[in-house]
Amino acid sequence: MRNLAWINGTVSDISEAKVSLEDRGHLLGDGVYEVTRIYNSRPFYLSAHLERLHKSAVAIRIDIPVRIGEIEEIVADLIKKSDCIDGYLYIQLTRGSAQRNHLFPVGATPNLTLYVRGLDPLPALEAVKPAECITLPDERWLNCHIKTVNLLPNLLARQKAAEAGAQEAILYRSGDVVTEGTRSNVFILIDGKVRTHPESNLILSGITRRIVLDILTELAISNSEENFTRHDLQNASEVWITSTTMEVNPVAKIDGNRVKGTAPGPICYRLMEELRNKIAATCF
């Protein structure tokens, strides 16, 4: 396949794609983004991702320069031209290009970028490797519900995790309350109930997170969106993390200590199966 980009209406290979040096996303992190998984040449839950893109854009007062319906058409055309079967779609919207200034530029046109890259197909469920995680203080800003390109705290935390031999850092705030991972939402099974941090300004409510909550309800598995602590995390019988690119991933170790139950546990594995079923029904 070809890794193709679409920037303000121009399609090119990613290696040849260009944005202005004075793009405000580049200079100031003044932008928002989305990532959507592509299966069998079809973007999974694209409408939900575009709805969240719109919410993020409204939150930081950027107008999307094309209709949402047009973006869907652009995505379909880009996937077709790239001949992408398994991959991901990245969408970025910035306030535009202008001389560097903290104030919003008058008359600047927002820059919209989309690109498609190939990914290896995800492994069979039996081959999914349980993750190891560490916990770290959540040092991000207080508007984590906005999916901005400002990811430096996430990057620093994930780098610490990698240097510790872990795949993810699970973040916590005052009172040891667990919020989410650097690129994932976190679920635990404790006292017979699945719990995940409630929607708020402290987390990015993931699309996969929402799908998992819907599946839990469909299966009549007790669940709630409520705070839990690092102590709960360490005493849970199952832990898993979710994201667009990793789907549902079981967690085997946290801060070097094994999760009390198996990884994946029976509920996590059921969710892995049901999510794959939804993917198959939507994209195949």
- What are the tens digits of pLDDT across the range 136-149? 999 999 999 999 99
Which pLDDT score is estimated for 59? 98
DSSP helix/strand/coil, 42: strand
In what helix (H) or strand (E) does residue 71 lie, and over which residues does it extend?
A: helix 68-82
State whether 102 and 233 are in the same domain.
no
For residue 13, is pLDDT > 90? yes
State whether 149 and 265 are in the same domain.
yes
CATH of residue 148's domain is 3.20.10.10
Domain boundary among 118, 143, 160: 118
In what helix (H) or strand (E) does residue 178 lie, and over which residues does it extend?
A: strand 177-181
State whether 248 and 131 are in the same domain.
yes
Q: Place 282 in a pLDDT band, splitting at 50, 70 and 90.
A: very high
Q: Place 129 in a pLDDT band, splitting at 50, 70 and 90.
A: very high
Q: What are the residues whose beta carbons fall under 8 Å from the beta carbon of 184, sequence distance 6 or more?
A: 168, 206, 241, 242, 243, 246, 249
Which pLDDT score is estimated for 239? 98
Domain boundary among 118, 140, 163: 118
CATH of residue 91's domain is 3.30.470.10
Q: Which of 210, 216, 167 is nearest to 189 (CA)?
A: 216
State whether 29 and 82 are in the same domain.
yes
Which pLDDT score is estimated for 122? 84
Domain count, the chain: 2
Domain boundary among 62, 86, 118: 118
| Cβ(206)–Cβ(185) below 8 Å | yes
State whether 135 and 259 are in the same domain.
yes
| Cβ(171)–Cβ(179) below 8 Å | yes
- If you average pLDDT over residues 50-55, what whole number do you get? 98
Q: Place 169 in a pLDDT band, splitting at 50, 70 and 90.
A: very high
State whether 138 and 274 are in the same domain.
yes
The residue from 129, 147, 160, 193 that is catalytic is: 147
Beta bridge partners of 11: 6
State whether 8 and 138 are in the same domain.
no
Q: pLDDT tens for residues 181-210?
A: 999 999 999 999 999 999 999 999 999 999
State whether 41 and 60 are in the same domain.
yes
> Regarding predicted confidence, which is higher, 122 or 165?
165
20: containing domain? 4-118
Q: What are the residues whose beta carbons fall under 8 Å from the beta carbon of 159, sequence distance 6 or more?
A: none
The question of whether 160 is a catalytic residue gets the answer no
In what helix (H) or strand (E) does residue 72 lie, and over which residues does it extend?
A: helix 68-82
Rounded to 5°, angle at Cα 110 from 109 and 113: 135
State whether 141 and 265 are in the same domain.
yes
Which pLDDT score is estimated for 128? 95
